[in-house]
Amino acid sequence: MPTPPTSPLLRPLRIGPLTVPGRLYKSATSETRATDDGYVTDELLEFYEPMVRAGTPLIVTGNLYVSLQSKSAGRQAGIDADDKKAGLRDWVDLAHSGGSLLIAQLNHGGRQMVRSADPGKSPVSASAVREPLYGTKPRPLRRDEIPAVVETFAAAAERARGVGFDGVQIHAAHGYLLGQFLTPHTNRRTDGYGGSLDNRMRLLREVYRAIRTRVGDDFPVLLKLNGTDMLPLRRGATTAELVRVAKVMEGEGIDAVEISRAHYESWPGMILGHYKGFIRGQITEGSGMSMTRRRRLAMLAAAPVIERVAERLAPGGEGFNLPQAEQFTARLDIPVICVGGFHTREGMESAVDSGRCDAVSAARAMIADPFLFRNVQDPMPGRPVCEYRNGCIARFGGKAIDCYVEPIRIQKNHMLRRTEQA
Ligand SMILES: Cc1cc2nc3c(=O)[nH]c(=O)nc-3n(C[C@H](O)[C@H](O)[C@H](O)COP(=O)(O)O)c2cc1C
């Protein structure tokens, strides 16, 4: 049955100066579709084209590296240099051709760096705490290096505005550099950037202020933040602390916050769902291809147990970040966007209607069904529906992001062919 015009998913939402004509967005998905040195390709634009054609009101890019040091995966797109502007402009033009707003997600990977991103590069972090999934041992950023990191974010935001993006999203979720500073487990510093929560959020604040100075007050600056670090037995930032970070950033002038969860080392982390075959996919076709042979063999040997435990501990479900997101909604006046498992109209409408969040976003469900925004309103027969088998993220950093569950992929390609002909 078509969605009634009163559906909360069709209700406009104000994000800073923008009026977004709907409340279901595409969350960031690093696509592994840029060139090796980070330029936009046709293959990358092809991934976005159907989402635009489906009228998705707001789309967040995959995380864009703001400097070579910040690049975290092979074939990741960058926004670190002016010669990338032409390709970025094509991306913006594509989004605008269908009326979608396009937000550039800005990121520094810190210690969460897949080795294929740039072998031989020395990764940096808040402190020298090894990243256990990839085995990366970072060195702490020196105090005198921090202004240059802040500057790369500001220059990237200025570039984003220059080529016509509708806003930027600062990526402080998922345990990348800004998250590494926020989290006590990865931040053991004793200078003004470590210790108290105020100190741990200092880098995030400096990044935000530098961006705002460069882009002006009338350009949306969003934030992606964890609602839980998911680091049992380690000192993760607590939800109460993360809500406080959001509150402080609201006071600074952030326009909206999107709530997710986890670091790489909280594996399975942000992508709750099913894991059977995940590790083999990761090692043979994804970011695991660049792991040492020893690590690959160890992971393959442990795969059956790890995958079973992950599935048992983290079953997912629609709106799996809502218990945390609603705590942000209760404290903030700016819009709260919740990501995590959304794929049905009922689930999305109830999240928004109940007031637990102001809007929802989807990553895997949009990969499986780029027409999701249209299909939740008026479902096409035989449309692809995400089963959260995680084949997409298993291939991240190796193969182009797509749905790798064969029957769903066939349905998707069939749907795309039909809609192209229509
Ligand atoms: C293939 C893939 C790539 C992702 N890349 C990013 C990224 O670049 N930036 C980001 O903030 N989150 C990224 N995520 C996480 C999603 O934005 C989202 O937070 C998470 O998948 C939970 O949402 P879902 O249940 O709708 O998939 C990625 C997820 C997937 C599956």
Q: Please state the pTM of the whole predicted model.
A: 0.97
Closest CA to 171 of 231, 103, 267, 121: 103
Strands 221-228, 256-261: pairing kind? parallel
Distance of CA 349 to the CA centre of its chain: 22
In this structure, which residue's CA is closest to atom 19 in ligand 1? 260
- Axis crossing angle, helix 293-313 with helix 278-285, rounded to the nearest 10: 150
| 261 Cβ contact list (under 8 Å, min separation 6) | 173, 226, 227, 228, 229, 230, 269, 270, 321, 324, 340
- From 106, 270, 393, the mutation candidate for ligand 1 (largest count of ligand atoms within 8 A of CB) is 270
Ligand 1 centroid – CA 30 distance (Å): 7
Ligand 1 centroid – CA 283 distance (Å): 19
Is the domain covering 8-421 a CATH 3.20.20.70 domain?
Answer: yes
Distance of CA 237 to the CA centre of its chain: 19
Q: What is the pLDDT of residue 421?
A: 81
Q: What is the pLDDT of residue 389?
A: 95
In this structure, which residue's CA is closest to atom 31 in ligand 1? 393
Q: What is the pLDDT of residue 116?
A: 64
Nearest ligand 1 atom, CA 61:
8
Tell me the backbone φ, ψ of residue 172, rounded to 5 degrees.
-115, 15
Ligand 1 centroid – CA 24 distance (Å): 15
The strand pairing partners of 15, in sequence order, are: 18
- From 24, 26, 29, the mutation candidate for ligand 1 (largest count of ligand atoms within 8 A of CB) is 29
- Axis crossing angle, helix 239-252 with helix 202-215, rounded to the nearest 10: 30
In this structure, which residue's CA is closest to atom 11 in ligand 1? 28
Ligand 1 centroid – CA 422 distance (Å): 30
What is the full per-residue pLDDT of the chain (422 aa) written as tens digits? 555 567 999 999 999 999 999 999 999 999 999 999 999 999 999 999 999 999 999 999 999 999 999 999 999 999 999 999 999 999 999 999 999 999 999 999 999 998 666 666 789 999 999 999 888 999 999 999 999 999 999 999 999 999 999 999 999 999 999 999 999 999 999 999 999 999 999 999 999 999 999 999 999 999 999 999 999 999 999 999 999 999 999 999 999 999 999 999 998 788 999 999 999 999 999 988 888 889 899 999 999 998 998 888 877 899 999 999 999 999 999 999 999 999 999 999 999 999 999 999 999 999 999 999 999 999 999 999 999 999 999 999 899 999 999 999 999 999 999 998 87
DSSP 8-state symbol, 228: E
Quickly count: other Cβ atoms within 10 Å of residue 330's Cβ. 11
| DSSP secondary structure, 244-292, as one string | HHHHHHHHHT--EEEEEE--GGGTTTT--S--TTHHHHHHHHSGGGGS-
Ramachandran category for residue 142: left, alpha or beta (phi over 0 → left; psi -120 to 50 → alpha): beta
| Cα–Cα distance measured from residue 174 to residue 226, given in angstroms and rounded to the nearest whole number | 7
- From 24, 25, 30, 343, the mutation candidate for ligand 1 (largest count of ligand atoms within 8 A of CB) is 30
Ligand 1 centroid – CA 62 distance (Å): 8
CB 31 within 8 A of CB 74: no
Ligand 1 centroid – CA 361 distance (Å): 10
SS3 of the chain: helix, strand, coil, percent, to 5: 45, 15, 45
Q: What is the pLDDT of residue 2?
A: 56
Q: What is the pLDDT of residue 364?
A: 98
Cis link prior to 315 (omega < 30° from 0)? no
- From 24, 26, 27, 366, the mutation candidate for ligand 1 (largest count of ligand atoms within 8 A of CB) is 27
Nearest ligand 1 atom, CA 395:
1
Nearest ligand 1 atom, CA 361:
26
Q: What is the pLDDT of residue 119?
A: 62
Ligand 1 pocket (Cβ < 6 Å) reads 27-30, 62-63, 105, 171, 173-174, 224, 260, 270-271, 339-342, 362-365, 392-393, 396, 401
